[in-house]
């Protein structure tokens, strides 16, 4: 059986997308669905290729029980056709993905913000890289919220 493949994308693949990758992987394992869903992450920019997530994001994530070990990588053309769902952290990432893809990814491209609960302070996940600790906490709060709702959709897709 082909595994459903989710790809989280941010700019450098060292803060938001590896955090979403780790959170979603954790949720799938808790639900016993990790054998049915493959989670990955990448960036639209390859300047951090091979690096672990930013040490600040790893530290904040570890406090919440997430071990972020993914190594940064840039998006590849094969990702556009192999992934069932490509999740952009913000509008700039979505625009870059559409520009970079050699195929129409519209049916597979979703915004992380679309999965946030009503009442959240933002409708996207801001990049915490240039900010302080509060930015990493906010990003993780939003990622946890969105991943919980995304999991509901994934479970529905798996039942179809």
Sequence-distant (≥ 6) Cβ neighbours of residue 26 within 8 angstroms: 65, 66
Residue 102 to residue 35: CA distance in whole angstroms: 30
Residue 146 to residue 140: CA distance in whole angstroms: 10
Sequence-distant (≥ 6) Cβ neighbours of residue 111 within 8 angstroms: 87, 88, 90, 91, 94, 124
Burial annotation 26-36 (CB, 10 A radius, 16+ → b, else e): bbbeeeebbee
67 is catalytic: no
10 is catalytic: yes
Among residues 15, 16, 79, 147, the one annotated as catalytic is 16
84 is catalytic: no
Among residues 79, 127, 145, 147, the one annotated as catalytic is 127
Relative to beta strand 109-111, strand 85-88 is parallel
Q: Is 88 helix (H, G, I), strand (E, B) or coil?
A: strand
- Residues with active-site annotation: 10, 16, 127
């Amino acid at each position: 059986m082909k595994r459903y493949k989710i790809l989280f994308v941010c700019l450098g693949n060292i803060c938001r997308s590896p955090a979403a990758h780790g959170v979603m992987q954790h949720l799938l394992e808790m639900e016993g669905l990790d054998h049915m869903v493959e989670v990955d992450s990448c960036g639209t920019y390859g300047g951090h290729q091979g690096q672990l997530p930013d040490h600040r994001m790893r530290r904040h994530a570890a406090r919440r029980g997430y071990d972020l070990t993914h190594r940064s990588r840039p998006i590849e053309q094969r990702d556009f056709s192999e992934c069932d769902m490509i999740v952009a952290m913000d509008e700039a990432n979505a625009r870059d993905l559409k520009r970079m893809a050699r195929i129409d990814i519209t049916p597979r491209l979703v915004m992380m913000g679309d999965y946030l609960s009503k009442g959240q302070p933002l409708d996207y996940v801001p990049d915490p890289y240039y900010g302080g600790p509060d930015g990493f906490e906010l990003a993780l709060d939003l990622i946890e919220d969105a991943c919980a709702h995304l999991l509901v959709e994934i479970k529905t897709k798996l039942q179809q």
